[in-house]
Amino acid sequence: MGLVTLILLSSSLAASSCGKEEGGEVPMPSGNREMQIEVEDRSDMDSLLQELDRTMESVSPEDFSDSQLGESELGL
Amino acid sequence: MRRAFILVGMVVAVLAFSAAPALAQEGQPGTETRLQERLQERWELVQKRIELIIARFNNNQQRHQETYERVRSTVEELLEWARAKGYDVSKLEQDLNTWGSMFAKFSQDYQAFIRKLEEIAGLSPEQAKGSFYAMLREARRLLQVVRQDVMDIRLFYQQTIRADIQDLKEQFPESA
């Protein structure tokens, strides 16, 4: 029972991904691809952290920036 | 003195000529209707823009919510695995709960923001003339709250959740 499979379903990351794919064993979440990370020991936590970082970076506070409610956006 | 009379006469003449068309226009019954029509068309354009903006924000909000839930779900699975292996996961567990309450705040604040935009889009042209800019200011304030929520969620992940996971690596439970 030393195995837990962590599945990240990355169905909606394509539109927002930052394009920071760096290669390696864990693929960049994109499109409708399904990605699996298997944590068997503590060294796998690094891969997991990297993937979590990428996922968190795929969304930005700028998606809710003031400029989206600017006068030009509103056609004023 | 004679020059002064001539100058005053010229000014009066100019004013009379320039005011005449405006006075004549004011009397025309169609002018007011045309102005109303123009106002209506312009407002409809703004309403359509607001609806597009709402759709875009909804898409962004959904993307954020799904991303946060996906990360939280993954961390929860890690937590359960680590607990079973004998790691002390109490801090991570507590921080995950705090993080979850931040998602709830984000969702609530976002709903308040969108309700305000929908309220603006539902104004009649006459209502918009009186209250559009005040309501837009309020919508912008609510948007800032939403943006701050997103920044807080991101920062909490970077400074707390991530640190908790790294701390797990420093533990050496017997069964691990």
Residues of chain A contacting residue B67, judged by C-beta atoms under 8 Å apart: 12-13, 16, 55-56, 58-59
Cα–Cα dist B91/B161, whole Å: 9
Q: Using the beta-carbon criterion (under 8 Å), do B154 and A56 form an inter-chain contact?
A: yes
**Nearest-neighbour CA in chain B from A19: distance (Å):** 16
| Res. A31: pLDDT tops 80 | no
Question: Using a CB-CB distance cutoff of 8 angstroms, which residues of chain A are in contact with residue B154?
Answer: 56, 61
Mean predicted confidence (pLDDT) in B122-132: 92
Q: What is the predicted pLDDT for the residue at A44?
A: 79
The first and second tokens of residue B102, run together, are 């931040």
- Looking at per-residue pLDDT, the higher value among B44 and A38 belongs to B44
Grade residue A17 by pLDDT with cuts at 50, 70 and 90. very low
B150 in reach of chain A (CB within 8 A):
yes
Question: How far apart are the C-alpha atoms of B137 and B32, rounded to whole Å?
Answer: 30
Strand partners, A5: A38
CA pair distance B96, B157, nearest whole angstrom: 9
Task: Considering only the beta carbons, identify the residue of A16, A66, A73 that sits closest to B144.
Answer: A66
Helix or strand run (H / E) with residue A5: strand A4-9
Chain A residue numbers with beta carbons less than 8 Å from the beta carbon of B158 are 56
ipTM: 0.76
Other CB atoms within a 10 A radius of the CB of residue B81 amount to 20
A39-43, B47-51, B120-124: which range is least confident on average? A39-43
Q: Distance between CA B174 and CA B176 in Å, rounded? A: 6
Q: Are B72 and B98 in contact (CB under 8 A)?
A: no
- Say yes or no to pLDDT of B3 above 60: yes
Tokens, residue A23: 């290669």
pLDDT in the model for residue A19: 35
Q: Is B13 exposed, middle or buried (0-12, 13-18, 19+ CB in 10 A)?
A: exposed
The two structure tokens encoding residue B107 = 């969702």
